[in-house]
Each structure stands twice: as structure tokens, then as C-alpha cells.
Amino acid sequence: MNARTSAARAARAALVALPLFANACGSEPDAAPQDPTLIFGPTPAVDEDRRADVVAVSLRATSTTLEVAPGLSGAFTTYSGKLPGPLIRAKRGDTLRVHFENTLDEPTTIHWHGVRVPNSMDGAPDVSQPPVPPGGTFDYAFQLPDAGLFWYHPHYDSVKGLGGGMYGALLVSDPAEPSDIGDEVVLVLSDASLDDAGSATASTPDLKTLLAGREGSTLLVNGKVYPTLQATPGRRQRWRVLNAARSRYFKLGLSGHAFTLIGGDGGLNGQVSEVAEPLIVPGERLDLVITPKGDPGERIDLMSVAYSRGMPLAPSKPEALLQVELVAGSPSSAATLPALPSNVRALDTSGASSVAISLTTSADSGELQMGINGVPFGESEPIHAKVLDTQVWEVENKTPYSHPFHLHGFFFQPLDDSDVPLEPIAQKDTLDIGPLSRRRFVVSYDDRPGMWMFHCHILDHAEAGMMGMIHLAH
């Protein structure tokens, strides 16, 4: 246990925080709740529209001083003064309207990571929209065609934005899902680097730091250091987990427990599967079910387990993310999970065209230059496709360390070397490409033409050139 974690535990009772619990209506309780079925998560956004099929929220990019643990405060850039930004809740099929105001002294945008938005709503600066200038506004509006956990973050100076605290979750529910999967818990994982002045700003990195990607020394769950989550033995919880870190991989471990993986980036998977220590890479989401075991009064740490992303990067050290406190209460009414409705079907690859790309890096000149097929972003030609096309991609990682590959605007399905979908069949927008390895996936484009980005979601790597474009035309 490191000194920071020890201090956080000792100061638990004095924690001054954004509300860690909210009742079903989203209001803050007067006292610490005793009911473990209450939601643990980010501050909910306020829906400004009374229509049943429209969610309207306002977001403001602003600088804010926040306390993440007793005696540990920082100057963050945030959405609406919250860390993470307000949790937006909606239903599949709803229209989301977001009035965005930029009060920072530099331009920014909002990218709706994982949402199948129209190209003009994607938030890619100078590709899908002009950057929103200081003092400017922009109105985002689009339908939400899929259920799942998505998120929003800037796509202008992304390393600084995410490192400063600009990220938030969008949870889209499906009314067709059973109500007894488990008590819903949203976990936004991230990290921060607080300098001597208490500012969560990104320092100028050296070559070694860029190769690894900047990681903060302070781990955060829902914007707090080592918070406490209440749980009842035998009562299922559904953990909706988002990795909003700039570069950090999280491998999750809970002593004496296994996780049931039911979904991820694009909603429910085709099958459920058991996972002892699930890995979640930057930009990715996991939909996990956990049944707490033990006696009331016990406390168990959810750990970020030691993990190596490859050479020459040092393995991460095990650290506690949050404390699960077991409390008395009623167990789940059913001993087994209910049947889960999944619309995931294997995509047909028989008529697909092929795309082969390589993730590359060079530091011959003393400056890190990353790219696609040896060419940095801005100098490369786009990959061409037409609406309704299906493509099978093979992404080769020519570096000795992992890269989380992210595709804007579309889901894809991972394949094995024979182009058979990997099980569980999943809709993905972010996929880990291991050191010196290849991954294959199939993507089918619907009728949303435009220029769509793909890039490494270690954001230092994207900004160093590991990014490309798809030109999708009629």
C-alpha cells in the first residue's frame, strides 16, 4: 500500500466530495445512505426538456478548483464544474440536445465517443466542425440509436483536455432489458497529475514519457481518490465501467470474486462470459456484473492489478481504486442472471473488401514520430469506402508496446485469423492491439458519409501522428 492510499483511507470520514450517492430521482441525500441499492456515480445532468423522447442538457467548459481527497485539491478544466462531467442519462431512440459553451481561453470541441452520430456532430476539429472558440457556443443534436455506456471529451488538444479533467459519461438505457440485472453503478476511471501549484496540467514530456503516454500519479474513480461503494452480500451489482484516462490501462481485480462480462462499447454482447481480471484500455467501456461475497462489515479493495503494456515500458504497480464496504440488506431475488436481449449478430464478411494498416513509430531524429503505415497524420491519404460497404481490417502493431485502436462513428466486430467472430460477439469501437501483433475486425458502414477519424487512444500517440482518416462517400 502506498502512502497516498494510506492517507486517503485514514481520512475517509473527512472526505469532502461531490455526492457519491444519489437517489433514483438524482437528488443528493441529507445523510450517508444505508441502502446499498442507491446509485454510486457521477453527478447527474439536469434534463431541461420535459418531452419523454428528448434529453436536453447544457455543458460549459470551465476552469474549477476541486478537492479529490482531504487536503488534495487541484485546478481542473471541467464540464460544468464537475469531475467527471455530468452523467447524461437517456433511452435508446431519444434525441439528445446539448448546448455547449466554451469559457476557456482556448478553442475546444466535444467528441461523442462511441455514439453513431452524424458526421457533423462528431466533434473532430476542422474535419466535422470548426473548433468552438473562447466565448463561443455550439449546439449538438442527434438521435441515440444504441443502448450502452458512451462518453464525451474534447478532440482539440486532447491530452491537455482529458488530463485537466474534461470527460463525462453518457448512459443510454434500453427499455427492453430486464430490470433485475443488478443495482447499477457507474465507474469512471481516470488519473491526474497535480503539479506543485495544484494544477492538473500536462507538463512538457520527454521522449520516454511520450513513448509511454502521460499517466497521472493520482488515480481517480468518479473524480475521487479511493471512494467507498456499499454493497450487500448476494445482491448483484451492474458495474458500467469507463476508462477515461489519457494512457493508463486498468486491469481490475477484486479478491475472492469473478466478474460476469455482459457487454461493452456498443451495448450487450452476444453471450455472457466469466472474467477473473478484466482489462479495460483507454477509451473502452465494460458492462460487468458482480455478486458481492462476504459478511456485513467486511471491506474489499477493487484493485488496479499490475499490468505490462510491453517493452520498454515499466509494468504498472498494483493500486487500490475503491473500497467495497459490505452492508446488511436483501440479496437479489433471483440466484441467476435473467436472460439478456442482445441484437448482436455476426456481420457477413463474404463480400467484404480488405484494409491493411500498420501502427508505426520512429525516433531517429530525436523526436517521436508516430503514424499509420509509417506516415504521420496530416501527410497520409485517407482510406476510401462507400456507404453500405463492408470492410475487413487487419491492424498490425509494429511497436513493442500496446495501442488501443479507436474508430470514430462506427462499431466493428473482432475476428480471428479465419475471419470468424471472436466470442463473445461484441460491438466495439476501441480495441487493444498488443505488442508486435495483429488484430482483425469487420466493419459495416451505414449511410453517414463524411471524413471519419481512427487513431490510437493513448492520446500522446495520436497527437504524435498515430491517426488516420476514412473518407466515406455515397
CATH topology of domain 183-326: Immunoglobulin-like (2.60.40)
Distances (CA, A) of 202 to 151, 247, 458: 22, 13, 14
What is the third-level CATH fold of 353-473? Immunoglobulin-like (2.60.40)
Contacts of 421 (CB under 8 A, 6+ apart): 346, 347, 413, 414, 415, 442
Residue spans of the chain under pLDDT 70: 1-40, 195-199, 201-204, 365-366
| Cβ-based neighbours of 291, under 8 Å, separated by 6 or more | 234, 235, 236, 237, 257, 332
Question: Tell me, what's the pLDDT at 201?
Answer: 62
Contact present, 359 and 466 (Cβ < 8 Å): yes
Residues 6+ apart with CB under 8 A from 131: 107, 108, 109, 125, 156
Rounded Cα gap, residues 17 and 203, in angstroms: 27
Q: Is the sign of the CA dihedral 424, 425, 431, 435 positive or negative?
A: positive
pLDDT at site 359? 98
Pairing of strands 267-275, 390-397: unpaired
454 HSE (CA, 13 A, CB side): 29
pTM above 0.95, yes or no: no
Amino acid 335: pLDDT:
86
CA-to-CA distance for 34 and 163, rounded, in angstroms? 34
* Structure confidence at residue 311 (pLDDT): 82
Whether the Cβ atoms of residue 298 and residue 326 lie closer than 8 Å to each other: yes
Determine the Cα–Cα distance for residues 399 and 358; give it in Å rounded to an integer: 9
**3-173 fold:** Immunoglobulin-like (2.60.40)
The rounded distance, in Å, linking the Cα atoms of 41 and 19 is 8
Q: How far apart are CA 353 and CA 389, in angstroms?
A: 8
Burial of 315 (0-12, 13-18, 19+ CB in 10 A): exposed
| 3-173 and 353-473 have identical folds | yes
Q: How far apart are CA 110 and CA 88, in angstroms?
A: 14
Q: Name the E strands within 341-466.
A: 353-362, 369-372, 383-386, 390-397, 403-407, 412-415, 430-433, 438-444, 450-456
Q: Could you tell me the residue ranges of all domains in the chain?
A: 3-173, 183-326, 353-473
Residue 289 CA to residue 422 CA, distance in Å, equals: 21
> What does the pLDDT read at residue 197?
57
Strands, E assignment, 114-181: 137-143, 148-153, 168-173
